[in-house]
Every structure is written in structure tokens, then in C-alpha cells.
Structure 1
Amino acid sequence: MMLRLDRVSKTFRTGSFGGRELHAVREVGFEVAQGEVVSLIGESGSGKTTLGRMILRLAAVSEGSITLDGVDIARQKDYYRSVQGVFQDPFSSYNPIFKADRVLEMIRQRFFPSMGAADWRARVESSLAAVRLDPGGVLGKYPHQLSGGQLQRLLIARALLLDIRMLVADEIISMLDASTRIDVLNLLGELKGRGLGILFITHDLSLGNYVSEKTVVLRSGRVVEMGRTELVFGNPLHPYTRNLLGSVPRLHRRWSEEEDAPEEEATCFYHGAAGRDATWPGLVEAEPGHFVGCATSGTCAPALELVR
């Protein structure tokens, strides 16, 4: 199973009477295969969540296409049996006046209305076991009686009830404490091993490096660099990627000992006004499995001069 984004763009109308346009996502293209974790990395406002919402059909695509196994997702009736999402704030996904396992019962009502009680109970227990939750510890509890990590894993169990093949994980550990984060990350690794494809949306570079095989770096709605994670992190080519990596705190040095990262030369699309009106040439393959974007007119070849 393959989820594919092909030149996907999203434009919002803003201002009085919608007279202006905000280009949140511009011509983004990448793939997520079954059994693969792809990290989508970028600063706040770069368009990561907008992309996730379009993949989950919570926002319409303005241009381009998103397909699952070659079929446009907008035309797939049972799309949510294959693709589900888990979001940043687990508490916002629950109604505090209902018990937490109501989110599981809603799946039964929508997708398994004719399933018997015994079969449904067995299915729920299997899904909870997959995310290392004890049914007796979470079922029948209200959201405030469970931790953030338990609530997040319960949402993942909810997705697994449908035998999904793709999971969009949007900043799912940013609100969890350090000890719980590693549990959720290891859980994602286990799910990948079972054949689940995962789009891991994050602004935390260390987490993306830890969990993914491929990395996509997003800046101002465009992909500026992507490829195998070890290449993107080991040999960053785009100035924005280098600045991101240079901003990561080093545990062995005190803050007062840190030096300001040098500004990259303003030659690419995202650095300096001179390039902002240039035609976007897309991405160039700088080395096998490693792509970088730069604003050059006409051919993409001059982009290689920037990264040498």
C-alpha cells in the first residue's frame, strides 16, 4: 500500500471578503509506503498540520492530488478503514463527560454495527494489547482519570480497531513527559514492524532522526530537502536544514558556551529577497536518495552549486 502526494498545494482566502490568498502548502510531493516511517519536519507555521489534515480529508486539496494505491482519496468510500490520524493534544479528542472508551464504541457503531458483544470485546482487548494497555486499567475510566500517555495510546488502539495501513501522527508526543515519549515512540516502531505506514509530523529533529527511515523538511509550505534520514541529518544540504540542526541544544555544553549559528548565504528561495520571485524549479537529486530545493531560473542544475 502506498500513500502518494503529487504537487499538493493548499490556498486559504484571507482578508476582507476573502480578497487575499495565503499559500499554506506549495507543490509538495512525497510518498509513504506500508511498513515505513516518514518524518515531516519543520517549524511552527510551515504547513505540516495542514498537510496532515489534507491527507485525513479534513481539509480540501487546492491543487495536486493525494492518492492511496493510485486512487484519489476523495473518491474512496472506505478510506478511513485504511487511514487514521492521532493528534497533538490527546485530551481534546475526548468529551470529559463521557468515559474514555466511548471513542472505541463510536468505531463499533460506525464500522461494526452487526458485530456481537463477545467478538467486539475480543477485538478491543486485542487492540489494547497491541498498544500495551490493560483493559481493566483504562476501560470504564473518565479522561481525567488517565494520563496523557494512556489517552494517546488509547487513540492509537482506536485506529488499530480498523486494521488500518496508514497512520498520520501529528505531534503526538509533544505534550507528553520524557518517560512516556519513549514508550509511544517504541510503540510506533512496533507498529511499523507489523506493516503500518506512519507519517510522523514533528518539529523535533531528534525524534524524527530516532524514528524514521525517510525525512521531509518543510519550510514556508515547500519541501526544501528530503531523502533517507541518515543522509538528511548526516549531510544537510539546504541552508534551512543546516540552520535547524545548528539550533539543536547540545547536552554537553552550557547555554552560555553556545555560539550563535552563522547565517547562511542568502542564495536560495527562502533566504534573501533576490530569490523570492524566481521560478520554483522543484527538487534536484544531489546524491542518490537525497533531494534538495533551491530557487533557480529554468533548470535545476545550478542548485547543485549551492550545496557543494
Structure 2
Amino acid sequence: MAMGKVLISGRHLTKVYGTGNRKKAAVDDVSFDFHEGEIISIVGESGSGKTTLAKMIMGLLKESGGAIEYDGKPRQMKRYRERKAYWKDIQAIFQDPFSSFNVFHRVEKLLVDCIKLQGLKLNKDEEYAKMKEACSFVNLKFEELYNKYPFELSGGQMQRLMIARIFMLHPKVLIADEPTSMVDACSRSTILDMLLKLRDENRMTIVFITHDVGLAYYVSDTICIMEHGRIVEAGRAEEVIHHAEHPYTKQLINDVPKIHSPWVLD
């Protein structure tokens, strides 16, 4: 798919924790341009800064330095209505789907809240039809979920519900932070296919946060490699994987298990 205009960009982003001699930069002078309809993977090991960067893009963490632009304009997050407008366009799916749900609320409230966030005025039948359509998109039957609480569902069902939520909201940008790491292999493939389908149908920009360079190569147009808070290598997925230049990128690639590697026995 051809990429569109630059939708969201960062310039010299920094996030520093601590003070004085205990200062530590979780994100250190990071710049990027993400395009409409592009799939980007930010790859790195634990502690590389990738999740901190994702939270800054989401507006959940305030940057210590630098700036983010959205749709060609400086991002405004000071007022509630500005944050609400931004979060209407930029949504996230996190690693642990259970942490995204209020355990005291039934499943349908999550979906009804999506309708309210869009400002839609629907009657009960129209709400039901919209929720049923969203569940159908992720291969769930709304009738079987109705009146249930999150703890009554499996991790795979919960993660698919999060995608149903994205289907209803139609955001322009989706931050997917390790969205398949807590589900089985079958569910992992299904969830990835659903996300790619959303991108194809809605020209949604998807930013994957992952430690899995193999997954990044499979799904991405662009790969950014992060180490110690910095993007040390970035480019088209094929170029980064097949012509890696930075030693850390080469290490990540070499750590991927090879199917045809000979067994090494002690």
C-alpha cells in the first residue's frame, strides 16, 4: 500500500527521570515521521525505551524535551477538549488486555463507551447492531459476550474485543504495544491479520511496539531499532533486516531462532 502524508512526527523527543546525578534518559533525542497508512515497528529489548516512546506519542507521558506534531500542527494537550480530540484519533492496544478493562463493568459497556466517545446518538437497537457488527469483525458472537464480565473471557477473546473497540472508533493512529505476547500462537496470527485488515480498510497508521524482530519484519513497512533510549537504525523493513548496519540490530537478528540451524549438543 502506498503511504500517504506525514501524519504524526516527533522532533528531538526526550524523557528524563530522576534529578541531579540520578537522572536517566529513557528516551534520548528521538525524531521520526510516521505516514498515513504506514505500519511501523519500534523494536528493542526491555529497557530500550520503546514503551516510554509509545506513551509519549499517546500523550500519556509528557515529554521532557522536544515536540510532537500531529497532522502538520503542534500537538495540543493542555485542555480536556484538546486531549479528547487527540485520543479520538489516536488509540492503543496494550500487552495485557485485562489491564484495559474495568473488571466491575460488563463487556457491553466498553463498546457502548466507544459509541459515546464518537458522539453518536443511537437508539438501543442501533447500538446493539453496531456492537454486533464490531464483534463479528473479530470473529466473536456478541450474543455470547452480552452480560459477561472481563474475567469470564479468555485472553484471546479480550484482545479481540480491544480490536473490536478499534473497529468502532476508526482512529487514524493505533499504538499496538506487544499486542500478541500474552496469547497463544493461533490467536496471535488471527490478531495480526485483523490489525492488518483494519489498516487496509481504513488507511490507519499502526505503530507496533515489540521485542520480536521477526514479527516486525513480517508486518512492517518501516522498522525503527531502539537501544538505550535512542533510535540507532531505521528504514524500510527489508533494508533494515537484510542490510543491517548497527551492531545492536545485527545482534537482534542473530538472536532469532533459525529453523535450519543445526542442533548444538553439549
Aligned length: 255
Any residues of structure 2 matched to 1:40-55 within 5 Å, and which?
Answer: 40-55=42-57
Q: Which residue of 2 aligns with 1:125?
A: 132
1:6 maps onto 2:11 in alignment: yes
For 1:190, what is the secondary structure of its paired residue? helix
Q: Which has the larger radius of gyration?
A: 1
Name the CA shift for 1:64/1:193 in 2 (closer, same or farther; >3 Å): same
| CA displacement at 1:19 relative to structure 2 | 5.9
Q: Deviations over 1:146-199 (max 9, x none)?
A: 221111111122123222111000001011111110001111111111111100
Q: Which residue of 2 aligns with 1:156?
A: 163
Separation of aligned partners in 2, 1:179 and 1:154: 16
Q: What is the aligned-residue identity percentage?
A: 38
1:203 maps onto 2:211 in alignment: yes
Query: What TM-score, normalized by structure 1, do the two folds share?
Result: 0.77
Q: Whose RCO is larger (CA < 8 A, sep 6+)?
A: 2
Q: Which residue of 1 aligns with 2:105?
A: 98
For residue 72 of structure 1, the aligned residue among 68, 71, 74 is 74
| CA displacement at 1:95 relative to structure 2 | 2.8
Separation of aligned partners in 1, 2:248 and 2:67: 26
For 1:35, what is the secondary structure of its paired residue? coil
| CA displacement at 1:250 relative to structure 2 | 1.8
Counterpart of 1:64 in structure 2: which amino acid?
G
| CA displacement at 1:254 relative to structure 2 | 5.4
| CA displacement at 1:206 relative to structure 2 | 1.0
For 1:84, what is the secondary structure of its paired residue? strand
Separation of aligned partners in 1, 2:60 and 2:175: 12
1:218 maps onto 2:232 in alignment: no
Q: Which residue of 1 aligns with 2:240?
A: 232
Q: Which residue of 2 aligns with 1:253?
A: 261
Query: What TM-score, normalized by structure 2, do the two folds share?
Result: 0.88
Separation of aligned partners in 2, 1:110 and 1:164: 11
Query: Could you say which structure has the higher helix fraction?
Result: 2
Q: How large is the Cα RMSD of the aligned pairs?
A: 2.0
Q: Deviations over 1:120-140 (max 9, x none)?
A: 223222322332322123232
Q: Which residue of 2 aligns with 1:278?
A: none
Q: Which residue of 2 aligns with 1:25?
A: 27
In structure 1, the gaps of 5 or more residues are: 259-308
For 1:161, what is the secondary structure of its paired residue? helix
Name the CA shift for 1:139/1:36 in 2 (closer, same or farther; >3 Å): farther
Counterpart of 1:235 in structure 2: which amino acid?
H
Contact 1:32 1:198 survives alignment (8 Å)? no
For residue 37 of structure 2, the aligned residue among 35, 38, 49 is 35
In structure 2, the gaps of 5 or more residues are: none
Contact 2:135 2:161 survives alignment (8 Å)? yes
For 2:107, what is the secondary structure of its paired residue? coil
Counterpart of 1:28 in structure 2: which amino acid?
V
Contact 2:50 2:226 survives alignment (8 Å)? yes
Q: Deviations over 1:187-233 (max 9, x none)?
A: 11111111111001100111111111110000000000000000101
Name the CA shift for 1:210/1:49 in 2 (closer, same or farther; >3 Å): same
Separation of aligned partners in 2, 1:58 and 1:134: 32
Separation of aligned partners in 2, 1:217 and 1:179: 27
For 1:101, what is the secondary structure of its paired residue? helix
Separation of aligned partners in 1, 2:178 and 2:34: 17
Counterpart of 2:173 in structure 1: which amino acid?
M
Contact 1:9 1:61 survives alignment (8 Å)? yes
Counterpart of 1:224 in structure 2: which amino acid?
V
Which one is further off, 226-235 or 107-116? 107-116
Separation of aligned partners in 1, 2:216 and 2:108: 30
Separation of aligned partners in 1, 2:71 and 2:21: 37
Separation of aligned partners in 1, 2:21 and 2:223: 36
Counterpart of 2:9 in structure 1: which amino acid?
R
Which one is further off, 21-30 or 103-112? 103-112
